[in-house]
């Protein structure tokens, strides 16, 4: 089955710097790659996603890139703020309504 790896497991950045989280997946049939932010005591919240027919997507300070050939995808957060501190999960989904396969998560700390 699908396996999603994620690096780094922890990341500390100074406020205003950029943060990059990288993921790989194993199943070439995966077509949808959401990113979730999980704050303490809460459920995962979708922050951005990318589909297999797109190489890059941007939403304000957040951007995702996808390299389907290499089975890599990345999350970029620019101008980080303390409220960006959370655990971020990348994920892969094969087809509509299929289960979400999560990566192990990255704990991001933004230091004021």
Partner 1 sequence: EPEVTQTPSHQVTQMGQEVILRCVPISNHLYFYWYRQILGQKVEFLVSFYNNEISEKSEIFDDQFSVERPDGSNFTLKIRSTKLEDSAMYFCASSDVGTDNTEAFFGQGTRLTVV
Contact stretch for partner 1 (CB under 8 A) within 22-30, 31-39, 57-65, 78-86? 31-39
Residue 42 binding partner 1, by CB under 8 A: yes
Instruction: Give the chain's count of helices (H) and strands (E).
Output: 0, 11
To which H or E segment does residue 24 belong?
strand 19-25
* 4-7, strands of its sheet edge to edge: 4-7, 19-25, 72-77, 62-67, 56-59
105 secondary structure, DSSP code: -
* Beta pairing partners, 74: 22, 65
CB nearer to partner 1: pick between 37 and 74: 37
Binding mask 71-110 for partner 1 (x = CB under 8 A): ------------------x---x-xxxxxxxxxxx-----
CB nearer to partner 1: pick between 78 and 107: 107
* Min separation Cβ 22 and partner 1, Å: 16
Which positions touch partner 1 (CB under 8 A)? 32, 34, 36, 41-46, 49, 89, 93, 95-105
């Amino acid at each position: 089955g699908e396996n999603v790896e994620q690096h780094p497991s922890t990341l500390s950045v100074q406020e205003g710097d950029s943060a990059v989280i990288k993921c790989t997946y194993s199943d070439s049939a995966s077509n949808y790659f959401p990113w979730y932010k999980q704050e303490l005591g809460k459920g995962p919240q979708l922050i951005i996603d990318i589909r297999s027919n797109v190489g890059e997507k941007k939403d304000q300070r957040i951007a995702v890139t996808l390299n389907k050939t290499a089975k890599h995808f990345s999350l970029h957060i620019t101008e980080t703020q303390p409220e960006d501190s959370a655990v971020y999960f990348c994920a892969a989904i094969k087809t509509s309504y299929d289960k979400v396969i999560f990566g192990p998560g990255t704990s991001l700390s933004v230091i004021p």
